[in-house]
Structure 1
Amino acid sequence: MEKLDKVKNKDILDMENQNDETLNKLHEIVKKSFEEEQLIVDNLLHPPKETLSQGQLISDKVARFGGSWSFIILFSGILIIWLIYNSLVAKQDQFDPYPFILMNLVLSCIAALQAPIIMMSQNRQEEKDRQRAENDYMVNLKAELEIRSLHKKIDMLLQEEIKQLFESQVTHLKLLKQMSDHIDKLEKEIKNRYQQ
């Protein structure tokens, strides 16, 4: 019976040790996943600062103003005043008589200058969109790493659980064998006593 108790105590200690080992493995997986994700988190929390040249700042402001209602209203007002002034004043006071050649030249120059400035601003916006898409990719990558980490943990837990169940079955079979042997031994002793 003492032998049986020793085997039981040993098995209980082995199971506790296995649980401790499993917890240590889980802690290692968690620690490793945090280390892998740290770079991604740093990039998301501290994006590189954008340094703009004077030309880029000006192109952004011009594009912002050129695409606003303020610009449309102001420019329409100037054109209407231009047309009314050059149509109603005396011929000698008109600085751009009908067919308004100077106004066509000014409009062409404004369009020719405004188009590349807006293109520069759009190129910078495309760069910002690319950076935003890269950040989205980093977030998705972080989520994928988390999912992989969870899969590793679950797989490891399942493997350890299966291993513990198998070892527990082996231990129980050994105990049953020992009990069976012990019962057989007792039966023999009892038979020997009655036969004597």
Structure 2
Amino acid sequence: MHPPVADIVHRLLGRAPATLDASERRALAGFESGAATSRDAGDEADARSGFGDRLADRVAAVGGSWGFIITFTVVLLGWMLLNSDVLARFGMAFDPYPYIFLNLMLSTLAAIQAPVIMMSQNRQSMKDRLAAQLDYEVNLRAELDIARINHKLDALHAKLDRLAQAQPPA
């Protein structure tokens, strides 16, 4: 690392470059190489996700939609109507009031769906932390670039001052 970069890092972060964490080192490596630092947090999170993560997101997306709520309400009302009125007339109601089998299925669905939705929420929290980390890296890179530009402008200003002082008076 060139001394100006080490000096800029020390002035900006108040630490030696050897003590930087992984995200700061990535930002510094991008700064030194001139490579782009910004990345899409959604793409990064998707690249790191496994099948279970994607499945949890999908289940949460479906289970948390109006389409699911409306469809589920229609199915429940249909179940109750079928077992209370239609099939009951023929003595074929397989789950008459108080709908014990329906309650069992609803409890099972809730027992499975709740942890899956919590997994999806945890994944969203991870995405948020990743987005904050990537934002920090970009902000740090921008601060380092600005500090480098200021350092160059200061050096240029000092050189111009020396040239102006070396000029004989007109």
Q: TM-score, normalised by structure 2?
A: 0.69
Secondary structure in 2 matching 1:94 = coil
Matched, 1:68 2:58: no
Tell me the distance in 2 between the aligned counterparts of 1:48 and 1:107: 32
Aligned 8 A contact 1:40 1:138 in 2: no
* Correspondence for 1:110: 109
Secondary structure in 2 matching 1:44 = coil
Q: TM-score, normalised by structure 1?
A: 0.61
Q: 1:44 to 1:114 in 2, by over 3 A?
A: same
Tell me the distance in 2 between the aligned counterparts of 1:48 and 1:70: 27
Tell me the distance in 1 between the aligned counterparts of 2:31 and 2:50: 35
Provide structure 2 residue ranges, at least 5 long, that are not aligned to the other structure: 1-27
Give 1:113 deviation, angstroms: 0.5
Structural RMSD (CA): 2.9
Give 1:109 deviation, angstroms: 1.1
Q: 1:85 to 1:53 in 2, by over 3 A?
A: same
Matched, 1:132 2:127: no
Tell me the distance in 1 between the aligned counterparts of 2:45 and 2:56: 21
Provide structure 1 residue ranges, at least 5 long, that are not aligned to the other structure: 1-32, 177-196
Tell me the distance in 2 between the aligned counterparts of 1:106 and 1:48: 34
Secondary structure in 2 matching 1:50 = helix
| Greater radius of gyration (CA) | 1
Question: Percent sequence identity over matched residues?
Answer: 41
What is the correspondence of 1:83-162 to structure 2 with a 5 Å cutoff?
83-88=80-85, 89-90=87-88, 92-162=91-161
How many residues end up aligned between the 2 structures? Answer: 139
